[in-house]
Each structure stands twice: as structure tokens, then as C-alpha cells.
Amino acid sequence: MSIEIKNVTKEYGLQKALNEVTFTVKRGEILGFLGPNGAGKSTLMKIITCYIPPTSGTVIVDGYDVREDSLEIRKKVGYLPEHNPLYLDMYVKEYLSFIAGLHKLPKKKEKVSNVVELVGLEIEQNKRIGELSKGYKQRVGLAQALIHDPNVLILDEPTSGLDPNQLADIREVIKRIGKEKTVMFSSHIMQEVEAICDRIVIINRGNLLVDQDANQIMKASSDRQIVRVEFDQVVSKNELKQIDGVSKVTQLKGNEWEISSLQSQDLRASISKFAGAKGILVLSLQKETQKLENIFKDLTH
């Protein structure tokens, strides 16, 4: 159940939302699809789920072409759209049973209770959707995406707007479900994909920037180092740049600096040495943990 995206371009009038995007989501993989707001994430997800056609290029889902076999693809794909549109007046089970009906599923009742269990909705299953917390509304959204037991799941910002506890819960659900399905989920937040993705694709302004193993990205990022330092007196940027191993120097404010290296060597030692030699005092010196977020910033600036 792979998704092959080849040279996909999407234009909305004069605006190009996707520009020749190519990558593959492999069978059984959890792919994190990242990019800032407006990058083109939702656009590509709508193309994969056959809600809008590409301007050019092809998308093949499990051997079926989105331009020709949309009915077939909709049977295989579960989709949680951005902003999760739900009928707030309906009861949870009533709504899920309605969705099961749209898919013309046999044994509706059984399907509903299975999916309620799968996403952990048991304790809220008899409520009206409008009465649920945001986290539980997302579970209802996941449940409607899963009810026909699709092999591919497309989740558009499934964790946006959740508090940290809800976020952790939904992550767990996605991780659990992802064991048996091909999952592509989008986010504009880095931390959450670090936790659960096998691979990461980053786009910005419709262009693909990164397509890599999550491990590789994490490794590359751990080789790089960022240190925040405060001196007791004025130091020039040029002096700091000459410190052994330093690749980038940014003044934060006054005598506070952010200094980064491309190698894994510890910058703190060389900064201390530099200060000692000049008779400057180091008031604070802190190593920043290098997060995907920083790579993201570097790439999208």
C-alpha cells in the first residue's frame, strides 16, 4: 500500500501551491509531512485523497491513479481533514454509524464498536460530539477515518490545538494504528514527528526540501551544536567567529550570543578557553539541545 507522488504541481489560479513534488510513502511506514503554514501540505493531502486533482503530475495509491480510480482509492484510504469537520449535534455512535453507512459497510454496529475501542473512545461513546473535549473530538475524527479499515491513513494536522496530554494520547493512538497501516500525517510542529515517524518529508512554499529517514535527520542534527553564552563585556562577532570549530555567530542581545558548530565537538571548552585568554568572564554558558525544529528553521529561512 504505497503512495507514489511524481512531479506533482498544483496551481490555484496564478498561485503555485505545489511545485514538481516527488516522493514515495512506503508500505507500512509512518511518514511525517512537515512544513510551515501555507507550505502546501493540505493541498497534497487533498490530491492524494482525490478531493482535488493535480494540475500536473501523478499520484498512485496502491497501484491506482488518483485521476482515474478515485472510487477505488477512497475505499483504501482513511482521511482526517484539517480542522476535522464533525457534526456537533450528533451522538458519537450515531455519527460513526452514519459514516459506516456512507461506506456501505455490512455489520455497522460491530464496525462502530470496534473502531470506538481502537481509538479509545469507550468512555465518551454515548455523548454528543459537541460535548467532547478537543482531544476526544480528534479521536472521533480518527474513528471516522478508520471505520472502513483502510490500509492507508492520511491525517492532516491531527494534533493541532491539543494540550500536551491530549497530544501524547493521540500520538500513542497513531503509533498503535501505524503498526499495521501506511500513515502520512502532517504537522507544522517538529517535536511531535520526532516521536513517531519512520521518515520525514519537509516542504516549503510548494517545494520539497528534505526526504530522509527520521533517524538520519536526528543524527545529523545531533552532530551540530548550539551554545548560548553571556560574557561580562563587549566582544566582537569577528573574534567569536575565530574560535576553533565555530561556524555561525548570532548576537542575541548586548553581551549574549548564540554560537553554533557543524561538528560534534563541544564548543563550551573552546569558548571558555577563548574567554580565559582574553581575561573575559563567562557569566553563563548553555548548550542547546538540537531539535529537528532548528533544522527546519535553517531550511525554511
Q: Cell digits for 78?
A: 482513511
H-type helices in 233-266, by residue range? 237-241
> How many angstroms separate the CA atoms of 164 and 161, rounded?
9
Q: Is 284 in the site for ligand ADP (CB under 6 A)?
A: no
Count residues contacting ligand ADP (CB under 6 A)? 11
| Positions in 174-193 near ligand ADP (CB under 6 A) | none
User: DSSP 3-state assignment of 168?
Assistant: helix
CB of 83 to Mg ion, least distance (A): 9
Q: Is 31 in the site for ligand ADP (CB under 6 A)?
A: no
* 162 in Cβ contact with 133 (< 8 Å): no
Q: Where are the strands (E) in 26-174, listed by range?
A: 30-34, 56-61, 64-65, 77-80, 152-155
- Site pattern 4..23 for ligand ADP (x: CB under 6 A): --------x--x-x------
Is the Cβ of residue 15 or residue 165 nearer to ligand ADP in the bound state?
Answer: 15
Q: Is 41 in the site for ligand ADP (CB under 6 A)?
A: yes
Which of 3, 23, 34, 43 is in the footprint of ligand ADP by CB under 6 A?
43
Q: Is 42 in the site for Mg ion (CB under 5 A)?
A: yes
Tell me how far CA of residue 164 lies from CA of 121, 128, 134, in angstroms. Answer: 18, 24, 12
Is the Cβ of residue 187 or residue 225 nearer to ligand ADP in the bound state?
Answer: 187
Q: Cell digits for 160?
A: 493541532
CB of 3 to ligand ADP, least distance (A): 17
User: DSSP 3-state assignment of 165?
Assistant: helix
CB of 122 to Mg ion, least distance (A): 30
Q: Is 158 in the site for ligand ADP (CB under 6 A)?
A: no
User: Could you tell me which of 269, 267, 266, 233 has the C-alpha nearest to residue 249?
Assistant: 267
Q: Where are the strands (E) in the chain, listed by range?
A: 3-12, 15-25, 30-34, 56-61, 64-65, 77-80, 152-155, 182-187, 199-204, 207-213, 225-231, 246-253, 256-261, 282-288
| Positions in 123-162 near Mg ion (CB under 5 A) | none
Q: Is 49 in the site for Mg ion (CB under 5 A)?
A: no
Query: Among ligand ADP, Mg ion, none, what binds residue 204 when CB lies within 5 to 8 Å by partner kind?
Result: none
| Positions in 69-108 near Mg ion (CB under 5 A) | 82
Q: Is 187 in the site for Mg ion (CB under 5 A)?
A: no
Query: Among Mg ion, ligand ADP, none, what binds residue 76 when CB lies within 5 to 8 Å by partner kind?
Result: none
Q: Which residues of the shown chain bind Mg ion in the complex (CB under 5 A)?
A: 41-42, 82
Q: Which residues of the shown chain bind ligand ADP in the complex (CB under 6 A)?
A: 12, 15, 17, 35, 37-43
